[in-house]
Structure 1
Amino acid sequence: MSKLEFIILGKNQPILEIVVRLVNANENWNAVGFGDENLAQKHFLENKIDFVLLSSGIDDAVEKEFTHFCVKHNPEVEVIEHFGGGSGLLQSEIYDRLHKKGKL
């Protein structure tokens, strides 16, 4: 099984770093974090991304635009809004999406 690829977009740098670390703690997952949506969009277009995690500090307009961009370019991508709640909640959200898609 190949690794699942994640983009994490967040404007709160310390939290972004924590979320990237939590995702990368799973040996089957690979996350790259971005504080700038334009850089995240470029990375999204250049890589096959399975999950987009929206972290803290993003305003509603950017969140909507980025989500629309990602789904338009890859309708299969999973977009999760994750604004805290610890590593257990994050993993549960990801596993729930994988289960619903029949990938578990």
Structure 2
Amino acid sequence: MNKIRILAVGTNEKIMQTILRLINQNPLWEGDIALSSASAKNSLQGARYDLILLGSGSDESEIRLILDLYKLHIPVVLHYGGGSGLLIAEVNQALKPSST
């Protein structure tokens, strides 16, 4: 079974390290972090992701432009805190197959 690959983007390194730790604690998930849009762009060029998690300081419009540039259809979740329970719920909701 393939792990769900998550790229978490935000500018506060300490917070992003915490988010990365929470992502990687889930045995079904595997995460990377990017501390800038430029770093996110590099990551998206070199790896496959199932979800983009945007944290504090990230620029949603820049990330969406990058996704458009590379024609990537990856769900984007805005996560600005709230603890591990909220993070889990946000990821699960974003990855839930749509009923349409």
Which residue identity is paired with 1:67?
R
Confirm whether residue 70 of structure 1 aligns to residue 67 of structure 2.
yes
Q: Could you say which residue in structure 2 is the equivalent of 1:11?
A: 11
Instruction: Name stretches of at least 5 consecutive residues in structure 1 with no aligned partner.
Output: none
Q: How many residues align?
A: 98
Which residue identity is paired with 1:88?
G
RMSD: 1.6
Instruction: Supply the distance in 2 between the matched residues of 1:31 and 1:9 (Cα, whole angstroms).
Output: 11
For residues 1-104 of structure 1, the aligned pairs below 5 Å read 1-58=1-58, 62-73=59-70, 74-75=72-73, 77-101=74-98
Which residue identity is paired with 2:92?
Y
Which residue identity is paired with 2:90?
E
Higher normalized helix content (fraction of residues): 1
Instruction: Supply the distance in 1 between the matched residues of 2:17 and 2:45 (Cα, whole angstroms).
Output: 22
Deviations 1:33-72 (A, max 9, x none): 11122121111111111110101123xxx32111231255
Instruction: Supply the distance in 1 between the matched residues of 2:22 and 2:5 (Cα, whole angstroms).
Output: 14
Instruction: Supply the distance in 2 between the matched residues of 1:9 and 1:97 (Cα, whole angstroms).
Output: 16
| Overall identity of the aligned pairs, in % | 30
Which residue identity is paired with 2:93?
D
Tell me, yes or no, if the aligned pair for 2:20 and 2:31 is still in contact at 8 Å: yes
Instruction: Supply the distance in 2 between the matched residues of 1:92 and 1:72 (Cα, whole angstroms).
Output: 29
Instruction: Name stretches of at least 5 consecutive residues in structure 2 with no aligned partner.
Output: none
Deviation >6 Å, runs of 4+: none
Tell me, yes or no, if the aligned pair for 2:37 and 2:62 is still in contact at 8 Å: no
Instruction: Supply the distance in 2 between the matched residues of 1:80 and 1:72 (Cα, whole angstroms).
Output: 19
- TM (norm. structure 2) is 0.88
